[in-house]
């Protein structure tokens, strides 16, 4: 293709880079499906482990397949002594996303099959990363709180194991279910920035660990991940339900964004937020944070009356913020948990890409000078 026939698409909004069976999004109608199954059905009926199987295999598992798949994940929960020691050596002031990125990259150092790109080997790496991530996130947080490590329990599902490690006690069923639902909702979302980063890396025939490390770094950017952190910071800044109207209307008058509202793709209500809003209320009530939920609901009411007609609605991050906070999570752990979930989608797209790989090599339009003279350093 000659440069004359190329078109400018700065954010790649209108560029299709390949085919995928993993997730379907209709932003105008507010539809999200994983392998054809709508996200609300999965959030209400599935589990994170079953959702991971669905994304990796393009179908729901039989009971026996799900049991075997779950056992594979749980067998990889624990870290090696080398990895525990490495985690302990990290500065306590480090950002959790940097910690996660570093530790996932280090997993490659122990894997003799790191460069094996067979589908079997790639899936095994994906499961290893998926399984190890909860221990990394939870135990780094324990370290910086001055507490000792809690090893994962292979009898627990991912959500329960994470919360047990984080807090040192087994969570209640409602709390574990709330986190599990959030993990399902965040597991995949088309070719977003971090998934695209994954595909760029595997497109070079690099390894899965490098691809997921790149994805984590991409998710850390405030224009991609971190929206629920900003929502929680906003709620704390407002402080009281009586101050909400002035705060929100003031932001809108100044043409400032209200965190948790609007989406690059969705012009209808984010389908991931529908069930989560109901769940957020029950968890807030159970944990004594109902005022936090009521503040969120008040913000939504004002935003809906002011900008709902423009297609600006709450997204999944708006109600996941109060849910995570009610579960006792530090605000800077919100995005690492997002990554803990999105591991599933990243790996699924990476493996799918390898089956029909092509190096991703976009072009840019050069706008600099031509035929410029080189000036000797003595004459500059």
Pair 202, 310 in one domain = no
| Residue pLDDT, tens place only, 308-351 | 989 899 988 898 899 999 988 999 999 999 999 999 999 999 99
Pair 204, 239 in one domain = no
Does 224 participate in catalysis according to the annotation?
yes
Mean pLDDT value of segment 100-108: 98
Pair 132, 70 in one domain = yes
pLDDT at 84: 98
Please pick, among 186, 189, 263, 313, the residue that the annotation labels catalytic. 263
Please give the tally of structural domains in the chain.
Answer: 2
Does 263 participate in catalysis according to the annotation?
yes
Is residue 9 included in any domain, yes or no? no
**CATH number reported for the structural domain that contains residue 217 in this entry:** 1.10.580.10
Residue 60: pLDDT over 80: yes
Residue-wise over 94-119: b if at least 16 C-beta within 10 A, else e? eebbebbbbbbbbbbeebeebeebee
Is residue 11 included in any domain, yes or no? no
Pair 274, 257 in one domain = yes
Pair 40, 141 in one domain = yes
Is residue 374 included in any domain, yes or no? no
Q: Which residues on neighbouring strands pair with residue 177, listed in sequence order?
A: none
Which DSSP string do the residues of 260-281 spell out, in sequence order?
A: TB--SS-SS--HHHHHHHHHHH
Residue 299: pLDDT over 70: yes
Pair 171, 264 in one domain = no
Pair 246, 208 in one domain = no
Radius of gyration, alpha carbons of the chain:
22
Pair 339, 300 in one domain = no
**CATH number reported for the structural domain that contains residue 275 in this entry:** 1.10.230.10
Range of the domain at 42: 23-222+334-355
Is residue 101 included in any domain, yes or no? yes
Is residue 18 included in any domain, yes or no? no
Pair 45, 184 in one domain = yes
- Identify the H or E element spanning 32: strand 31-34
Q: Which of residues 287 and 34 earns the better pLDDT score?
A: 34
Please pick, among 141, 270, 317, 349, the residue that the annotation labels catalytic. 317
Is residue 34 included in any domain, yes or no? yes
Q: Read off the pLDDT band of 222 (50, 70, 90).
A: confident
pLDDT at 2: 54
Say what the pTM is.
0.92
Mean pLDDT value of segment 152-161: 97
**CB neighbour class for 294 (10 Å; exposed up to 12, middle 13-18, buried from 19):** middle
pLDDT at 137: 98
């Amino acid at each position: 293709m000659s440069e004359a026939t190329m078109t400018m698409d700065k954010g790649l909004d209108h560029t299709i880079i390949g085919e995928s069976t993993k997730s379907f999004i209709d932003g105008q109608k507010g539809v999200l499906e994983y392998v054809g199954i709508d996200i609300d059905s999965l959030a209400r009926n599935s589990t994170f482990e079953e959702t991971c199987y669905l994304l990796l295999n393009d179908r729901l598992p039989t009971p026996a397949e799900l049991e075997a798949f779950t056992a594979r994940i749980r067998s990889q929960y624990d870290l090696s002594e080398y990895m525990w020691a490495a985690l302990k050596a990290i500065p306590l002031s480090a950002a959790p996303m940097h910690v996660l990125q570093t530790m996932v990259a280090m997993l490659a150092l122990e894997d003799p099959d790191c460069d094996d790109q067979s589908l079997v080997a790639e899936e095994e790496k994906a499961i290893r990363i998926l399984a190890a991530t909860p221990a990394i996130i939870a135990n780094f947080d324990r370290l910086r709180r001055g507490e000792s490590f809690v090893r994962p329990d292979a009898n627990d599902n991912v959500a329960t194991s994470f919360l047990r490690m984080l807090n040192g006690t087994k969570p209640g069923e409602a709390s574990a279910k709330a986190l599990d639902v959030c993990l399902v909702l965040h597991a995949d979302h088309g070719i977003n920035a971090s998934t695209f980063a994954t595909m760029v890396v595997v497109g070079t025939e690099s390894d899965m660990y490098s691809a997921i490390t790149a994805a984590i770094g991409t998710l850390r950017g405030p224009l991609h991940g971190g929206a629920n952190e900003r929502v929680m910071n906003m709620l704390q800044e407002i402080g009281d339900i009586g101050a909400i109207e002035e705060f929100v209307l003031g932001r809108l008058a100044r043409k400032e964004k209200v965190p948790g509202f609007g989406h690059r793709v969705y012009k209808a209500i984010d389908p991931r937020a529908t069930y989560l809003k109901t769940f957020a209320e029950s968890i807030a009530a159970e944990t004594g944070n109902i005022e936090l939920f009521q503040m969120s609901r008040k913000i939504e009411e004002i935003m809906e009356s002011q900008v709902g007609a423009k297609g600006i609605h709450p997204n999944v991050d708006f109600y996941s913020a109060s849910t995570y906070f009610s579960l006792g999570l530090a605000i800077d752990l919100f995005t690492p948990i997002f990554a803990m979930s999105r591991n599933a989608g990243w790996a699924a797209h990476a493996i799918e890409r390898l089956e029909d790989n092509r190096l991703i090599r976009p072009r840019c339009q050069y706008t600099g000078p031509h035929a410029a003279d080189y000036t000797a350093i003595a004459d500059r």
